[in-house]
């Protein structure tokens, strides 16, 4: 196989992993939002900061691996990595965390609720 083809395939794999890594970071943001709810304004600010970070990470990938040359398949690879992680791992992980949060809330309510004896 050509060295050039191997390089392009490695770049595509890097882009997939970059996308998955970005979604892992976004999951931490989601976890933060699950356990510490806050106003929509702050959620919007968090998202804006995250997407600026994601753009810088993607630019860094292109700069370091491709001398700053824009490759469409790298951008598509980042989004596919994000999408695959979100569909295959993140949904189940977040559902589990939400169930844990509900369980903890129920336990906390039982401890706080005064017992009434008749």
Q: What angle do CA 92, 98, 102 make, to 5 degrees?
A: 145
The phi, psi pair for 77, rounded to 5°, reads -60, -40
Question: Which DSSP string do the residues of 43-81 spell out, in sequence order?
Answer: HHHHHHHHHHHHHHHHHHHHHHHHTT---HHHHHHHHHH
CA distance 92 to 98: 10
- What was the pLDDT predicted at 118? 59
Q: Which residues of the chain have pLDDT under 50?
A: none
What is the per-residue pLDDT for 2?
A: 87
Structure tokens at 57: 């990470």
pLDDT tens readout for residues 34-55: 888 889 999 999 999 999 999 9
Whole-number pLDDT of residue 38: 86
Residue 36's φ and ψ, nearest 5 degrees, are -130, 85
Tell me, what's the pLDDT at 1? 74
Specify the pLDDT at position 114: 60
pTM of the full predicted structure? Answer: 0.76
pLDDT at 117: 62
């Amino acid at each position: 196989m050509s060295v050039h083809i191997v390089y392009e395939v490695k770049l595509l794999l890097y882009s997939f992993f970059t996308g998955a890594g970005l979604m892992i970071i976004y999951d931490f943001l989601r976890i933060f939002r699950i356990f510490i709810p806050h106003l929509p304004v702050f959620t919007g600010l968090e998202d804006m900061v995250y997407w600026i970070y994601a753009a810088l990470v993607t630019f860094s990938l292109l700069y370091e691996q491709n001398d700053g040359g824009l490759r469409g398949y790298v951008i598509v690879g980042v989004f596919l990595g994000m999408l695959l992680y979100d569909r295959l791992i993140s949904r189940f992980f977040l559902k589990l965390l939400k169930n844990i949060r509900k369980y903890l809330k129920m336990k906390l309510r039982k401890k706080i609720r005064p017992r009434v004896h008749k």
